[in-house]
Amino acid sequence: MPAEQLYVHGVTSHDFNPRDFKFPYLRVADELRKEINSEVRQPGERLPTQEELAERFGVSRATINQALSLLRKEELIDTRQGRGSFVASETRQVPVPSGSPEGTVWGVVSERVPPVLLKPYLVEAFEANAVKLDVFSMTTESLAARVVDQKDRILAGEVSPPRSITARLLLPNTESKALAIPRQVSGEDDPRVRERLGGILRSHVTMMRSALFELRRLKLVEEVDVQVRLVPFAPQLKLYILNNRVVLQGFYIPEEGTVALPDGEDVATYDAYGTGATLYPFRASADSTPEQAGVVRTARKFFDATWDNLATKIPF
C-alpha cells in the first residue's frame, strides 16, 4: 500500500499542513469536522463518496471509513444504507419562554449533550433586544465570520436590529513567552510563531468590530461596545456565553503540524485549530435542576473572574 499523505483543499488561516501527522484517518476526520462546524457543509448535505474522499485526501478507502466512523460516533454525520453519509440535522432548538425576564437563563439541557454548530445559536442570540457575547478563544476566527452573517441579516431586513450589542473578548497575549501553544515542537519559544498568531487574532477581531460598529454607524443599533482583554496563557477551552443564557464550549486539542512563516521557513509546531472544535451546548431554565443551571452559572463565574483578575485591558 502506498504511503498515505493528506492533501487538503480550502486551507484555513492556520495553514493546516498535515504531512507530519501519524494517523491519517484522524486528520481526515478533523478536516471534515471543520467543514461541518464552520458550515461549509450544511445539515442534511450528502458527503462525497468514499472513493471521492480517498482521491481528495490521497488515502485509502479504509482510512476514509475509519474517519467516517469517528464522525458517526460524534453524531456529526449519519450513514444510510445504500445512500451514503450525510451531515447530521441541526440540534433541536428550544424557544425562549414567553414572559421570560431579560438576562435569565432558559431552555432545557440535553442529557446527551450533542455537538452543535455555532450559527443557529448566534442567530438565536441576535434576535434578542440586548445581545451580549462573552467569548474566550484563541482568535475569534469562527465568531467573526458568524457575526458578519448576523450583520448582513440585519442589513437585509431579515431580523429586527437589537437595541444594544455588547461583546467581551478574552484572548491570549501573543507577546507572552509562557504560551503553551502555538510553540515549536522542540519546545523552543519562537517569537515569529507567536507573532503569526497575533496577526491572525488582530485580523479577526478587526473584522468583528468593523461589522458591529457599522450597525451603529448606520443607526441601526443604538449601543455597541466591544472590549478586548488579554491573558498570558493560551485557552484550552473555547467558550461562548450568549446573552447570559446559553453556554457553548469545545476543547482545543494540541496537534502537531507545520506552519509557514512570513520569511518562508516551515516550522514544526504544536497548535490547536479552533475552526474544527466540536461545540457542546448547555442551557438552563428558571425552574430547572441545580445541575442544569449550574453549568451556565459556573461558566459565567469563570469568565468574569478571569476577565476581572487575570486579564489586561488593551485599546483596539
Q: What is the pLDDT of residues 290-307, one digit of tens each?
A: 665 788 889 999 999 999
Q: Is residue 138 over pLDDT 60? A: yes
* % helix, strand, coil for the chain, step of 5: 35, 20, 45
Model confidence at 47: pLDDT above 50:
yes
Q: What is the pLDDT of residue 255?
A: 82
Instruction: Judge whether 281 and 116 are in contact, CB under 8 Å.
Output: yes
What pLDDT, on the 0 to 100 scale, is given for residue 275? 60
pLDDT tens digits, 212-236 = 999 999 999 999 999 999 999 999 9
pLDDT by residue (tens digit) across 186-218? 888 889 999 999 999 999 999 999 999 999 999
C-alpha cell at 228: 478586548
Contact 43, 89 (CB under 8 A): yes
Q: Average of pLDDT values for 62-87?
A: 87
pLDDT confidence tier of residue 96, bands split at 50, 70 and 90: very low
Over 80: is that where the pLDDT of 109 sits?
no
Report pLDDT for 278. 75
User: pTM for this structure?
Assistant: 0.68
What is the model's pLDDT at position 285? 57
Q: CB burial class (10 A; 0-12, 13-18, 19+) of residue 30? A: buried
Average pLDDT of the chain to the nearest whole number: 81
How far is the CA of 215 from the CAs of 126, 150, 166, in angstroms?
13, 10, 13
Distances (CA, A) of 41 to 2, 9, 35: 30, 14, 6
**pLDDT at residue 240 in the model:** 96
Q: Which residue has the higher pLDDT, 133 or 14?
A: 133
Amino acid at 236: Q
> What's the pLDDT score for residue 26?
81
pLDDT tens, 239-295? Answer: 999 999 889 998 888 888 888 887 888 888 888 866 656 788 888 656 555 665 788
Q: How many CB atoms lie within 10 A of CB 104?
A: 15
State percent of the chain over pLDDT 70: 78
- The predicted structure's pLDDT at residue 7: 30
Report pLDDT for 277. Answer: 65
Question: 4 pLDDT exceeds 80?
Answer: no
Kindly tell me if the per-residue pLDDT of 114 is higher than 90: no
Q: Looking at this protein, which amino acid is placed at residue 209?
A: R
231-254 in b/e form (b: 16+ CB < 10 A) is: beebbeebbbbbbbbbbbbbebeb
Residue 280: how many CB atoms within 10 A of its CB? 18
* The three grid cell numbers given for residue 102, joined into one nine-digit string: 431579560
Element (H, E) at 147: helix 141-155
